[in-house]
Amino acid sequence: METEIKEPVIVIKDLVKAFGDKKVLDGFNLTVEKGSNVVILGKSGSGKSVLIKCIIGLLQSDSGSILVFKGNISQMNEDELDQARSKIGFLFQSNALYDSMTIRENLEFPLLRHWVDITKEEVERLVNEALENVDLLHTMDMMPSELSGGMLKRVALARTMILRPEVILYDEPTTGLDPVTSREIENLILKLQKKNHSSSIIISHDMNCVKNTADLVVLLLEGKCYTKGTYEELKQSTDENIKQFFE
C-alpha cells in the first residue's frame, strides 16, 4: 500500500521556553503537514498557548527551531516575521477584535495594511465574502460590543481568514461557548479549511471540538509531546495520563 507523503508546513524541533525557573516547553517536537488539522491537548498551564505564541513570534523561544514554510521563526528579523505572519492566521481565545472599530473596519484593517495597492472595490468584495462565509453580513456596520459571544467568535474567524492564511492557529476556539455555538464554530473551521486548503493547529480542552476537528491529536505534558495519534487511537489508550482527557 502506498502512503501519501504530504509536505510539512510547520516543523518544530527541540523547542524550549522557560519563564524564570519554570520550563513551560522542554524539548517539544511537532510536524504539521499541509492540509491537516493538529489538535494540541493538555492541562491548563501546560504551555499550549505559549507554543502557538512562539510559532507566530509573539514569544521568543529560548532554544530549538520553529520552521514555518522552511523559514526559522526564531531567527527572523521584524520584516521577515511580518512576511511570514502574512501566511499565518491566529484566532485568539478572547477574539481580540478592535473594540473602537466597526466590524467592517476590523476586517478592512489587516487587508489595507498587507495589500497596500488593493482597490476599494476589492476590499469591499473581500469583506463581504468573509462575512458571508460566517453568515454575519448584516453585522457589517455594528460595533463588536453589540454582538453575542458566538457572533464575536465568528467575526474573529472571518478576520483571521480574510488574508487567506495557509496555516491557522486557533487558541481554544470553543471555550466559553454553548454546545450549539461550539458546534457551529467547529463546522465553520472545517468548512473554511476545506475552502482555503489551509492547515491548522488547534489548542483545545473541548473534547467534542477535538473529536470533530482533529486529524492528529498531540498530548502536551510537562513541556514535551507525550503522545500523538488520531482521536480514536488515543481514546482506546489505557495510559492514565491520556485516559483522564477522555473520561
Partner 1 sequence: MSLVIRFKNFLDETGNIARFTARFFSVGIKPRYENKELFNQCYIIGYRSLPLVGLTAFIMGLVLTMQLRPSLVDYGVESQLPVMVGLAIVREIGPVITALIFAGKIGSSIGAELGSMKVTEQIDAMTVSGIKPFKYLVATRVLATTLMLPLLTILGDAISLFGAYLGVNIRSVTSFDLFFLQVFKSLDFSDVLPAIIKTLFFGFAVGIVGCYKGFNSTKGTQGVGISANSAVVLSSVMIFIIDLLAVQITELMGLN
Cα–Cα dist 245/13, whole Å: 26
Question: Nearest approach, Cβ of 82 to partner 1 (angstroms)?
Answer: 4
Which one of 22, 98, 194, 195 is in contact with partner 1 (CB under 8 A)? 98
* CB nearer partner 1, residue 28 or residue 90: 90
Question: Nearest approach, Cβ of 204 to partner 1 (angstroms)?
Answer: 18
118 touches partner 1 (CB under 8 A): no
Question: Nearest approach, Cβ of 240 to partner 1 (angstroms)?
Answer: 34
Cell, residue 2:
502506498
Burial class (CB in 10 A: 0-12, 13-18, 19+), 195: exposed
Residue (of 229, 219, 218, 169) closest to 193 by Cα position: 169
* CB nearer partner 1, residue 92 or residue 246: 92
96 touches partner 1 (CB under 8 A): yes
How many chain residues interact with partner 1 (CB under 8 A)? 22
Residue (of 197, 198, 201) closest to 214 by Cα position: 201
> CB of 137 within 8 A of CB of 71?
no
* CB nearer partner 1, residue 25 or residue 52: 52
Cα–Cα dist 150/152, whole Å: 5
What's 61-90 look like in SS3?
A: CCEEEEEECCEEHHHCCHHHHHHHHCCEEE
Binding segment toward partner 1, per CB under 8 A, in 33-41, 85-93, 218-226, 228-236: 85-93
- x/- track of binding to partner 1 for residues 39-68 (CB under 8 A): --------------x--x-x----------
Question: Nearest approach, Cβ of 69 to partner 1 (angstroms)?
Answer: 15
